Amino acid sequence: MSYCYICGQELKNENDEHVIPSALGGHLKTKNIICSFHNNMLSDLDNYLCQDLSFLTNFVNPHRDNNKNTIPKVKMEYENVDLYRESNGDAKGLYFRADEDNGVLTLDVKLCHSANSEAEKNNLHELKKRLKGVAKQFQKDNAWVEMAYERILAESSAYSATEPLFSSFTINKSKKLFLSFLKIAIGYFLYVGGNYVDIQNAITTLKNRDIEQVHKIANYYYKRDFYPINCICHTLILIGDSHLNKLYVLISLYSTMNVIVILNNHYEGNDFSKTYSYDLYQKCELPCRIWKIETLEEIDEILRYDHLKKGFPNEFIEKYEYFMYLVYKNREIDELFKLLIKRVF
C-alpha cells in the first residue's frame, strides 16, 4: 500500500509521476509516491525547470514518453540577425529594411535559414511578403517584386556553421530552480524505496515552497564530475552517509546543470547508495561511478556559495561549452543558408 508524500492519501490509479520531468527526456516514473492532485499542483516547478533548461533541451531534442514536440524555439544570433531555432535543428531569421533617398530605393536584407527545410520555405515566404509591402509603399509593380526577389536569391550562398551560434539565456528567473531540484531529489529517494520518515523536513520545505529554506539545503555542485564522461546524460546519485549524518542527492541534467540537495542533515540510518544515469543520445542507461563527499567542510563550502548574488558559477559555463561540443559531435552540423545583401533596387 502506497501513500502520497504530500497529503498522506492512499494512492489508487494515479497519474504517472516522472522523477525527472518528461519534457526534459526523463524516463523514471511511478504511480506510488504522489497523488494525481498534488502531482498537478507541483507541476509548475517542473515547468519552471523546463523553461530554465529550454536552450539545452532544444539542442538535444530528447525522446519524451508522450512523443509530443513541445520543445520551445530558442533565440540565437548570427551576424546581427536574430535566428529562431527549432528542436529539429531548423533555424531561420530575417532582417529587412527599405530606405529611399532622392528617389533611390535601397534594400538592406539579411536572410538566414537552414537549407532545404520548412524554415527555408517560411523565410522565403516572409521575404516575398516584405517585398510586396515595399512595392505598395513605394508604388512598385509585381514585376519589380519578382525582380528583387530573384536578385536576392541569385546572390545567395551556403554556409556551414562550424561553431555554435551565439545565444544567451537566463537560469533561475523564477527563483524556484532549487525547489524544482528538491522535488527531483525527493522523487528519486522515494522511487528507490526510501522511507518518508527520513525526509520529513525536506518534504515540508517543498510543501511550503520555502525558498529561503531550500537555499540552505541545495546549491550548484561543481566540485567534481560525478556522471559518465563524453556523453550527455541525466544523472542521479543518492547517498546515505552515517559518518557525516547526511542524506543527499547529486543531480546532473544534460551533464551541465549540476546540483546537490541535502534531504536530511541529521541522518541516522545505514550507509547506502543508489545511482541512475541515462544517455540522452544513445537512449540507454549507463553505469555510474559513486561519488561520496568526504567531509562536512566540503558540504558547508558548497552550501555557502551565494548563487542569488553571484548567479551560476563559472564551471557551469565550462560545462555548457563542452555540452555544445558534444551536441555538434553527435549531430550533423547545422547548415545555414545566408544572404547578407545591401543593394540598390
Domain residue limits, the chain? 79-166+333-344, 174-311
pLDDT above 50 (res 159): yes
Q: How confident is the model at residue 30 (pLDDT cuts 50, 70, 90)?
A: very high
Q: How far apart are CA 70 and CA 209, in angstroms?
A: 27
Q: Residue 252: beta bridge partners?
A: 235, 258
Residues of the chain above pLDDT 90, percent:
59
Mean pLDDT of 18-30: 95
pLDDT above 60 (res 344): no
What pLDDT, on a 0 to 100 scale, did the predictor assign at position 72? 79
Sequence-separated (6 or more) residues with CB below 8 Å from residue 230: 326
Is the alpha carbon torsion for 218, 221, 225, 230 positive or negative?
A: positive
Write the DSSP string, 123-167: HHHHHHHHHHHHHHHTT--HHHHHHHHHHHHHT-EEEE--SPPB-
Count of positions (residues) in the chain: 345
Residues of the chain above pLDDT 70, percent:
90
Q: How confident is the model at residue 78 (pLDDT cuts 50, 70, 90)?
A: confident
Which residue type is seen at 84? Y
What pLDDT, on a 0 to 100 scale, did the predictor assign at position 79? 73
What pLDDT, on a 0 to 100 scale, did the predictor assign at position 333? 46
pLDDT digits (tens, 9 = 90+) for 275-302: 999 999 999 999 988 888 999 999 999 9
Q: How far apart are CA 335 and CA 321, in angstroms?
A: 20
Mean pLDDT of 81-95: 85
Mean pLDDT of 130-152: 93
What pLDDT, on a 0 to 100 scale, did the predictor assign at position 111? 83
> Is the Cβ–Cβ distance between 16 and 176 less than 8 Å?
no
Sequence-separated (6 or more) residues with CB below 8 Å from residue 131: 145, 148, 149
Strand (E) or helix (H) holding 44: helix 43-52
Q: Residue 78: beta bridge partners?
A: 81
Q: How confident is the model at residue 63 (pLDDT cuts 50, 70, 90)?
A: confident
Give the global pTM. Answer: 0.85
> Is the Cβ–Cβ distance between 22 and 39 less than 8 Å?
no
pLDDT digits (tens, 9 = 90+) for 161-213: 444 455 666 788 889 999 999 999 999 999 999 999 999 999 999 999 999 99
What pLDDT, on a 0 to 100 scale, did the predictor assign at position 163? 45
Distances (CA, A) of 80 to 76, 96, 165, 166: 10, 12, 11, 10
Average the pLDDT over each of 90-104, 126-140, 151-165, 246-260 and give the range with the smallest value: 151-165
Q: How far apart are CA 149 and CA 127, in angstroms?
A: 8
Average the pLDDT over each of 166-175, 213-222, 226-235, 333-342 and give the range with the smallest value: 333-342
> Is the Cβ–Cβ distance between 278 and 286 less than 8 Å?
yes
Mean pLDDT of 59-88: 80
Q: How far apart are CA 39 and CA 290, in angstroms?
A: 30
